[in-house]
A = this chain, B = another copy of it.
């Protein structure tokens, strides 16, 4: 399905998705159009889901990076799920997990105050365990 050239293309696009097809072609020993055709195939097959940027969230003021394990008491998760939908400004991701807890939230907060407020509102719907990221 994917050969070494495709893997190399994915690798290079991961490092710099704004590279020109011509330049990417040079890295994988193909011409621009050939490279472009391969990239289009990777898009169509769904291997490449999209092109995006890495944003330094700390520079936008979101300095606190937290993982929150959610334990819902109730069997009805809807109140919890609709609550987190209202908190998209903080949420990076919400994962349903097996193991310890029901969900794992990855969040970024600009201050302890706003995190505290979030946690208080969260507590109306579920219990949680908080882990703060110190370093990556």
Q: How many copies does the complex hold?
A: 2
Whether A49 contacts B45 by the Cβ 8 Å rule is no
Task: Say whether chain A's binding surface is mostly helix, strand, loop, or mixed.
Answer: strand
Whether B100 contacts A131 by the Cβ 8 Å rule is yes
- For chain A, the count of residues having a C-beta within 8 Å of the partner chain is 43
- Of all chain B residues, the one with the shortest Cβ separation from A2 is B60
- Contact sample, A vs B, 29 pairs, CB 8 Å cutoff: A15-B50, A17-B17, A17-B51, A17-B53, A18-B18, A18-B51, A48-B54, A48-B55, A51-B54, A52-B53, A67-B67, A67-B95, A67-B97, A67-B104, A69-B100, A69-B131, A93-B136, A94-B136, A95-B133, A95-B135, A96-B133, A96-B135, A97-B133, A98-B131, A98-B132, A99-B130, A99-B132, A100-B129, A100-B131
